[in-house]
């Protein structure tokens, strides 16, 4: 909830930005050269700081500005179990007034190392330089120059019985306790911020919060790796997981300032590379040789067992900081689920605190490092990135850390990706009218006022062949290209293994808000299948192309089929993620799952389209379509061509906003 704001001297955001250049990382390393079969040679590790506010200053001028504003020192902060964590402190030279501390904890390196080395921007963006903050940037336990063992999304320990019971909450608590006692001139208030993996550490760090922790902004945070990043509803996002872990996942036996480089596939064509690589297990054996522990864990845990359940942060979001602003991107290919789920859980478990949500038209970290005015072919009509940084992020921190005016933030600030406008809500999801998009025969899509599953109608068949999977993108890309989230879907709609349903042109605008609930009545002549459902906005044929900036060659707005949201559901999990079950060949069964939240207006004259398919490659690892206890270990003979079908009347429940 958006609680009444405070009038007393306010909270201190413990933020740490420790990378140069200041760019938020994608989890997808870039390809180059020939295939790599061993740990890459040491190169600068992926950075994790957010790109600075647009400026005409040169890179060296920005570093000089930071050098002239801050004193830097590097310290090893002791944790309760004796492990010490490397932390870079940037303290204002001007000590004429007490200052708060912003902290960011990161597994991606606290660069630049050295007491005389400075980043371009130690804060979320350049607006924070010279604004009265100190910054603390920390290598998390087991990463880079910190001591201890690194554990991916370290499980939270709700009951701590002794100094050996540590997690990210306790490490954050101990760090804050040291900072407020040892950084001279601080005002006793701390805040946190972080994007992606650092967003996870921000969210985990606000659990059982230290009394000095006053404000936290988890941005694109990981909440549960069964739904974020490497999995979507348990389906393996293959190139994202493999390319990230093939670089980030190698063990670090001792403190280092640099890590290995990026994986080289020897080709930019991910569809071909991953198809030739065989099963996920074969891929890892060929290129990682068992040397990446978390890849081995992925392969050993194909179901939602205790390994994944204990890494779910959501059940532990109790007693969090007094102010939380969770931020996410509606086109974030990596962490869309996390911010939505964390906002919702904090709201439920912490009544009375200041808890708001900001969701913009952004890719992963785009609010911090881009103009936020376009994504591929999509144009959003405004520079939403600088607007967020100046009008939402900095006022939030200034208010709770510097006692500035209250930020003009509603409970939920969400961008309408069809109408190109910010909308303010007093709750998210907002109150809507429930409607059902009903899939009919002859490719018809109708809008019904009730669930239509079970209505009489034919089964609609298509053939799914794992040797010729449906591409997730029209582009040639090794991994998960961010543009796919809004890409023109005509390339997929023209394939025979994709079912397409669409309405007639709308006679009035229609705005969908919140999550979408899919209910398919499905069957296969095999024993397993994935089900991918995509929500698409079809533009009128005579839509003019934008002129500034112009579209890329081959892109046209006329008839554009803009992907609004898509998700995959492994059919094996239709009765629960913990215990997969096969399909009985030829017998229809219910498949239910959610597409994550949208706020999108389908304008007058546009059509609503739904696409249904069973492969999305290489984005999602191929389903062999033979039920196996562990599908990642499929042999070549397990991949079989199958005939799938969904019943006419299968539908997607949506929320329709009332016309303003």
Residues 158-164, mean pLDDT to the nearest whole number: 94
Token readout for 125 is 């963006």
Residues in a beta bridge with 549: none
| pLDDT reported for residue 324 | 98
How would residue 267 be classed by pLDDT, with cut points 50, 70 and 90? very high
Answer for the pair 215, 397: CB distance below 8 angstroms, yes or no. Answer: yes
Cβ-based neighbour number of residue 4 at 10 Å: 8
pLDDT tens digits for 504-536? 999 999 999 999 999 999 999 999 999 999 999
37, pLDDT greater than 70: no
What is d(CA 398, CA 636) in angstroms, rounded to the nearest whole number? Answer: 58
pLDDT for position 547:
85
DSSP state of 568: E
- For residues 231-258, average pLDDT: 96
3-state secondary structure of 172: helix
For residue 445, give the nearest of 589, 649, 588 by alpha carbon: 649
Q: What does the pLDDT read at residue 8? A: 27
Q: Each residue of 408-445: pLDDT tens digit?
A: 999 999 999 999 999 999 999 999 999 999 999 989 99
* Burial class, 269, CB count within 10 angstroms (exposed 0-12 / middle 13-18 / buried 19+): middle
Which whole number is the average pLDDT over 72-82? 98
The model's confidence at residue 594, banded by pLDDT at 50, 70 and 90, is very high
Task: Say which CATH topology domain 433-656 has.
Answer: Jelly Rolls (2.60.120)
pLDDT of residue 35: 40
Strand, helix or coil at 221? coil
Q: List the one residue out of 540, 378, 377, 538 whose CA is nearest residue 443.
A: 538
Q: What's residue 114's pLDDT? A: 96
Confidence at 100, pLDDT banded by 50, 70, 90: very high
List the structure tokens of 389. 């940084």
Quickly tell me which residue has 């001279």 as its tokens.
Answer: 184
- 180, 152, 155, 185: which is closest to 170 by C-alpha? 155
The CA-based angle 265-268-274, given to 5 degrees, is 60
Dihedrals phi, psi of 296, to nearest 5 degrees: -60, -40
Distance of CA 249 to CAs 144, 207, 411, Å? 13, 26, 38
Residue 610 parent element (H or E):
strand 607-613
Query: Would you state the structure tokens that stand for residue 631, as one six-digit string?
Result: 């599908």
DSSP letter string, 401-452: HH--PPP---SEEEEETTTTEEEEESSSSPP-EEEEEEE-STTBEEEESS--
Outline where DSSP puts E strands in 440-509.
Answer: 445-448, 459-464, 499-502
CA pair distance 450, 649, nearest whole angstrom: 11
Q: Is the pLDDT of residue 56 over 50?
A: no
Which of 131, 34, 620, 588 lies closest to 390 in space, CA to CA? 131
Buried b (16+ CB within 10 A) or exposed e, 441-471: eeeebeeeeebbbebebeebebebbbeebbb
Closest CA to 13 of 157, 174, 216: 216
| pLDDT tens, position by position, 314-324 | 999 999 988 99
The whole-chain average pLDDT of the chain stands at 91
What's the pLDDT band for 455 if we cut at 50, 70, 90?
Answer: low
- Write down the pLDDT at residue 485: 97
Instruction: Please state the rounded mean pLDDT for residues 290-303.
Output: 98
**In this structure, are residues 431 and 514 in contact, taking their beta carbons and an 8 Å threshold?**
no
- What is the CB neighbour count within 10 angstroms for residue 578? 13
pLDDT of residue 125: 93
Q: Give the pLDDT mean for 480-484.
A: 94
Contact 409, 357 (CB under 8 A): no
For the residues 12-40, what does the mean pLDDT come to? Answer: 36
* β-strands 323-329, 354-360 pairing: parallel
What's the confidence (pLDDT) of residue 21? 33
Give ranges for CATH 3.40.50.1820 in the chain. 42-226+311-425
Mapping DSSP to helix (H, G, I), strand (E, B) and coil, where does residue 394 land?
helix
Instruction: Tell me if residue 562 falls in helix, strand or coil.
Output: strand
- Give the model's pLDDT for residue 58: 60
Phi, psi of 558, deg, nearest 5 = -65, 115
CATH node for 42-226+311-425: 3.40.50.1820
CA distance 255 to 89: 19
If pLDDT is split at 50, 70 and 90, which confidence band does 2 have?
low
Q: Where are the CATH 2.60.120.260 domain residues in the chain?
A: 433-656
Scan for tokens 């659990």, then name that residue: 207
Confirm if 334 and 228 have CB atoms less than 8 A apart.
yes
Cα separation of 304 and 233, whole Å?
10
pLDDT over threshold 70, residue 43: no
For residues 167-187, give the mean pLDDT: 98
> Which pLDDT score, from 0 to 100, does residue 452 have?
85
Does residue 295 have a pLDDT over 50?
A: yes
């Amino acid at each position: 909830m958006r609680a009444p704001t405070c009038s007393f001297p306010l909270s201190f955001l413990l933020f740490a930005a420790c990378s140069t250049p200041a760019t938020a990382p994608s989890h997808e390393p870039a390809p180059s050269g020939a295939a790599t079969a061993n740990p890459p040679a040491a190169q600068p590790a992926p950075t994790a700081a957010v790109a600075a506010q647009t400026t005409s200053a040169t890179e060296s001028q920005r570093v000089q500005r930071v050098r002239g504003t801050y004193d830097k020192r590097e310290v090893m902060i002791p944790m309760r179990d004796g492990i010490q964590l490397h932390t870079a402190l940037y303290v204002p030279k001007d000590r004429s007034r007490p200052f708060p501390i912003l902290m960011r904890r990161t597994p991606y390196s606290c660069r630049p190392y050295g007491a005389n080395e400075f980043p371009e921007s130690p804060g979320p963006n350049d607006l924070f330089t010279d604004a009265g903050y100190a910054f603390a940037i920390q290598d998390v336990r087991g990463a880079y120059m910190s001591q201890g063992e690194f554990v991916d999304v370290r499980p939270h320990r709700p009951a701590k019985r002794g100094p050996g019971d540590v997690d990210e909450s306790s490490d954050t608590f101990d760090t804050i306790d040291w900072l407020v006692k040892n950084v001279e001139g601080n005002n006793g208030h701390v805040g946190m911020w972080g994007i992606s993996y650092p967003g996870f550490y921000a969210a985990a760090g606000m659990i059982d919060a230290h009394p000095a922790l006053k404000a936290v902004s988890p941005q694109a945070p990981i909440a549960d790796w069964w739904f974020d990043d490497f999995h979507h509803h348990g389906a393996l996002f293959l190139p994202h997981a493999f390319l990230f872990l093939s670089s980030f996942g190698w063990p670090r036996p001792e403190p280092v300032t640099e890590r290995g480089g990026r994986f080289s596939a020897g080709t930019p064509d991910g569809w071909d590379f991953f198809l030739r690589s065989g099963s996920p297990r074969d891929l890892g054996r060929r290129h990682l040789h068992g040397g990446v522990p978390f890849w081995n864990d992925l392969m050993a845990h194909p179901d939602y067992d205790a390994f994944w359940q204990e890494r779910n942060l959501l059940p532990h979001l109790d007693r969090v900081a007094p102010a939380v602003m969770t931020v996410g991107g509606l086109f974030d290919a990596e962490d869309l689920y996390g911010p939505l789920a964390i906002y919702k859980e904090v709201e439920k478990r912490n009544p009375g605190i200041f808890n708001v949500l900001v969701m913009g038209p952004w890719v992963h970290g785009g609010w911090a490092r881009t103009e936020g005015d376009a994504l591929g072919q999509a144009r959003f009509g405004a520079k939403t990135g600088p607007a967020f940084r100046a009008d939402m992020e900095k006022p939030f921190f200034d208010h709770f850390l510097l006692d500035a005016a209250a930020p003009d933030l509603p409970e939920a600030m969400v961008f309408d990706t069809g109408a190109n406008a910010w909308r303010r809500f007093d709750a998210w999801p907002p109150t809507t009218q429930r409607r059902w998009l009903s899939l009919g025969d002859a490719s018809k899509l109708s809008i019904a006022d009730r669930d239509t599953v079970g209505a009489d109608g034919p089964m609609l068949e298509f053939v799914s062949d794992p040797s010729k999977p449906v591409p997730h993108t029209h582009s040639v890309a090794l991994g998960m290209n961010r543009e796919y989230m809004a890409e023109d879907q005509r390339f997929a709609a023209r394939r025979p293994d994709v079912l397409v349903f669409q309405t007639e042109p709308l006679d009035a605008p229609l705005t969908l808000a919140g999550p979408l609930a899919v209910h398919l009545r499905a069957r296969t002549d095999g024993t397993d299948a994935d089900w991918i459902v995509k929500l698409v906005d079809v533009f009128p044929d005579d839509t003019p192309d934008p002129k500034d900036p112009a579209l890329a060659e081959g892109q046209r707005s006329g008839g554009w089929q803009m992907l609004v949201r898509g998700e995959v559901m492994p059919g094996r999990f239709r009765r629960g993620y913990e215990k997969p079950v096969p399909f009985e060949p030829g017998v229809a069964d219910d498949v239910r799952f959610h597409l994550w939240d949208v706020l999108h207006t389908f304008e007058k004259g546009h059509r609503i389209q739904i696409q249904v398919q069973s492969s999305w490659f290489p984005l999602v690892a191929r389903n062999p379509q033979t039920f196996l206890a562990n599908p990642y270990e499929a042999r070549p003979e397990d991949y079989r061509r199958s005939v799938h079908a969904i019943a006419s009347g299968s539908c997607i429940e949506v929320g329709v906003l009332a016309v303003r």
